[in-house]
Amino acid sequence: MARSCGIRIGPERFEIVVLDGSSKRHRIVGWAADEFVSGLDEEGDSLTARAKQLEAAFEEVKGPKDNVHLVVNTGMAAFRRLTVPFSDRAKIEQVLKFEVESDLPQWSIDDVVVDSHVLTSSENEADLLAVALQKSDLSSPLELCKSAGFEPLEAEIEATAVFNAAMSAGLCNIDDSQLLVHVGDTATAVVVVDSGELRDMRVIHIGAHAGQPAGVASKDEGTEDQADEEGLEVGQAEASQDYEVSRSQEQAVKRIVRELGRTLSAARTINEISAIYVCGVELPGLVGGSVQDVPIFVLDCFDEDSGQPADGFGPLVAAYGGALVGLDVATIAASLRREELKFTGTWERLEFPLAIATMLIATLLGVINIFQHRELSTLEIAGARWYIQSTASHVFGDLKKAKRGYLYPVPTAKESPFLAGFKARFDAKEPVWEGDEYNALDQLVLELQKENLKMEKRLGTHTDFPQPQSAFVAATLVFSVLDANSDKWRPSLRRVDALYQPGRNKNQPETVRVTMDLVFFAEDTVEASRDYEGFLSELKRQSWLHAVEERSSKDLDDGKGVLVEALPITVNVETWLKNDGLKVNGGDQQ
């Protein structure tokens, strides 16, 4: 099952959602949501402190580092409507920055990342919604992720992530329109959806923490000390803080509702907007109300029992939409890293120069090859002709010197047309090979091999059937073991038989069975028995031994040795031959 991770990083908080499954069926296997720490780390760096916090949360939910998608604050983006006289996506990418440059006077176009979404298109033109973001604003959350130990594959804004989440949940139908709202820390993203398609996006620069005094938006440890310094009780300070938070959130809700009303009035949709779905940071009094008689609901894009928290799942929607991209579920594929990704566009810039360089190198090598061929052809042809003349003289003989060749009699034209024609060319006063010397030599080798094969079959030295294993070689291999240890043992052979045994299957290959009667002489029977056991041990060390059946020994009447009768030794001569046929004298000692 594939795993995907979506991470939303805002100015003051972050959310992580990990999905496991496929595009058709998936569930949340891990999630995390928290506010960033406001203090510094031991080295006085706030980025490092946030990176450690993000890294700990990422490891806690067991996020996959190879499939991470980043969602950034919509408040950093600017939206512009464009119309271009073509609908090809490749051409749109080429002219997008040029077209939007005049609409972004506040930024330098070289310092901006631009993405676009096609709203409507035909064969001759396309209406686009361009999303512009400063590279410095995008690099901050990316650096934070890299410091936390992972790098996102792609980045998008909260608005597109929320749209993908709503579309995956089936909230946007073809016969109605909706507003999708994501309340962030300092900005609120609004998406206009009509007939299940993206129509517009805008940003309201009011968030859940807008207008809060310092120290209220994020909790820190200095609140209690500050209250003590001013002579206030801790309880009074907390009550004052709660009141400030409530008042600022109430003001934020009023301003957001006012801006949503303006959006409803200005929206150009085919169908009437029937609902407003809100997600992100929860603001009291926002959900459950209405704007111009349009009800406001919670954006619940999660399936039942899909792993989301029972309450307070609104902040996870944007991160959930980012994770859907990793499972190829996204309706629109946003791309804010197209210019920052490594090697992007590098090959397109180098393609033409490399092609020209390759053509020049190929031309130069061709010219060099022509000159070298001319210089070497004369020497090669002369050397080949000398060698072919010498070979023909050796094979067919030399009539001028009254020397008969080794191939005699020469086959007729019916028996071997090539050899007959070869000899005819050789006997000519001025042989003409027409630059075919090497091919003629190769063919001559093949024809001579055929003649050798015919001669071997005629003489009976060649057969198409393999010869059986040699009983003589098998017995010699056994004797070599005795000879190699003649300085330690005193054996005496009484009888030796060697019999070829044909093979039946792979487990029982063809072998030679050597049967021996032998005596080991020694000072006493104990030493003689020890020599007999040493002989068996040496046999078992040989690679050519197939099997040996140990026989009991009989003591001699004088007590000076032992007699072993009918000792069977099975030898595989083929194994010995495969080991390069080691010398028989001395055995195959290992």
Q: What is the pLDDT of residue 329?
A: 85
Q: Taking a C-beta distance cutoff of 8 angstroms, is the pair 57, 16 a contact? A: yes
**Domains within the chain, CATH numbers bracketed:** 350-459 (no CATH), 471-578 (3.30.2000)
Q: What is the pLDDT of residue 220?
A: 43
Q: What is the pLDDT of residue 213?
A: 46
The packing angle between helices 417-427 and 346-396, to 10°, is 80
Lowest model confidence (mean pLDDT) among 41-55, 150-164, 380-394, 512-526: 380-394
Q: What is the pLDDT of residue 313?
A: 81
Distance (Å, whole) CA 138 – CA 142: 7
Nearest to 435 by CA among 384, 493, 502: 384
Q: What is the pLDDT of residue 584?
A: 44
- Relative to beta strand 68-72, strand 2-9 is parallel
Q: Would the pLDDT of 471 be above 80?
A: yes
DSSP, res 284: T
Give the distance, in angstroms, between the CA of residue 76 and the centroid of all CA atoms in the same chain: 36
Q: Would the pLDDT of 239 be above 70?
A: no
Tens-place pLDDT, residues 477-489: 999 999 999 899 9
Q: What is the pLDDT of residue 226?
A: 47
Q: What is the pLDDT of residue 449?
A: 82
452 pLDDT tier (thresholds 50, 70, 90): confident
Comparing 448 with 166, the larger pLDDT belongs to 166
Q: What is the pLDDT of residue 301?
A: 86
The SS3 call for residue 428 is: coil
pTM above 0.75? no
Q: Of 35-49, 307-321, 429-443, which has the strongest mean pLDDT? A: 307-321
Nearest to 142 by CA among 70, 47, 53: 70
Comparing 103 with 39, the larger pLDDT belongs to 103
Q: Would the pLDDT of 407 be above 80?
A: no
- Mean pLDDT (the chain) is 82
Q: How many CB atoms lie within 10 A of CB 14?
A: 23
Q: What is the pLDDT of residue 214?
A: 41
Q: What is the pLDDT of residue 448?
A: 78
The packing angle between helices 525-540 and 471-484, to 10°, is 130
Q: What is the pLDDT of residue 344?
A: 47
Q: Taking a C-beta distance cutoff of 8 angstroms, is the pair 468, 500 a contact? A: yes
Q: Would the pLDDT of 370 be above 80?
A: yes
Distance (Å, whole) CA 432 – CA 425: 7
Q: Which helix (H) or strand (E) holds 294?
A: strand 294-298
Give the sheet arrangement for strand 77-84, strand by strand: 77-84, 126-134, 112-121
Lowest model confidence (mean pLDDT) among 52-66, 256-270, 456-470, 561-575: 456-470
DSSP letters of 42-97?
A: TTS-HHHHHHHHHHHHHHHTT--TTSEEEEE-GGGEEEEEEEES---HHHHHHHHH
Lowest model confidence (mean pLDDT) among 105-114, 286-295, 459-468, 511-520: 459-468
Nearest to 482 by CA among 449, 520, 509: 520
